[in-house]
Amino acid sequence: MQTIAFIGLGNMGGPMAANLLKHGYKLNVFDLSADALAKLAAAGARSASSAADAVRGADAVISMLPAGRHVEGLYLGESGLFAQLPAGTLVVDCSTIDAATARKVAAAADAAGLKMLDAPVSGGTAGAAAGTLTFIVGGAAAELERARPLLQAMGKNIFHAGAAGAGQTAKICNNMLLGILMAGTAEALALGVKNGLDPKVLSDIISQSSGRNWATELYNPWPGVMENAPASRGYSGGFMTELMLKDLGLAEETALHSHAANPLGSLARNLYEEHAQAGFGKLDFSSILKHFHPLD
């Protein structure tokens, strides 16, 4: 039985680790949250006292952390995990961070004789719980094949985007488009309702017309239109506005560094920034509807 060290048990990491347990992997887990550790320990994982403790005896390491600085802090430096892991250990970082940091960490892993993949995910908390995530992977194809059984235990779709950092680039491109689509969908629904349309009827029309998109079909931002969407439970339990804002910021940084135009991505970032500043940062990003049509 393979032993996996899983570090970072938040809204995404916790369910992902639980799915590894369900598939028979032995897990050493670590998080700064005692409650998160206790939940995984109750499911059968070994609760580690530190990240260094979690990786002892592990065949592979998976991390799911908030930002690039946390990934660097975990792996690099004299006290980082790369200095402690045996050569050949597989390391899979599922965090969404900037591609430059992903490449920096991957280069350090290679210098230490380790095998590193950046594998950010798409699918949200529901996909993490259901084990249907999409993994967008950067790194060597051979290491992806080695990691594939682990990823298949947590997800449904696995894409090899390219070399180190490519997974992060593809992820932020996807999320930039998602932010734009959600804002556009919210604006269109608000316009229709303002002019007397029923939001459910308008959503059905759009879903069968040229404006159809993921938001109208699977994640409608208008409360009550879709029973299982965050909008119908007070915009809770989804992908927080502040996380969408982070990803749109990463897209803007990438565009700046690569001299690429991103006028719509930049506009979407400004909209979500205003929304977060208005106090909605912890709500699901589909709550951007409130920017166009106050519901309270």
The set of catalytic residues is 171
Those residues whose C-beta lies under 8 Å from the C-beta of residue 130, and which sit 6 or more positions away, are: none
What is the rounded end-to-end Cα distance, in angstroms, of the chain? 53
Listed residue (119, 123, 107, 124) closest to 146, CA to CA: 119
Q: What's the CA gap between 63 and 8, in Å, rounded?
A: 6
Q: What's the CA gap between 154 and 16, in Å, rounded?
A: 6
User: How many secondary structure helices (H) and strands (E) does the chain include?
Assistant: 13, 9
Query: What secondary structure letter does DSSP report for 278?
Result: I
Longest dimension (CA), the chain: 65
Orientation angle between helical segments 241-258 and 263-275, nearest 10 degrees: 150
For the CA atoms of 243, 179, 72, 108, what is the dihedral angle to 10 degrees? 160
Q: Are 34 and 13 within 8 A, CB to CB?
A: no
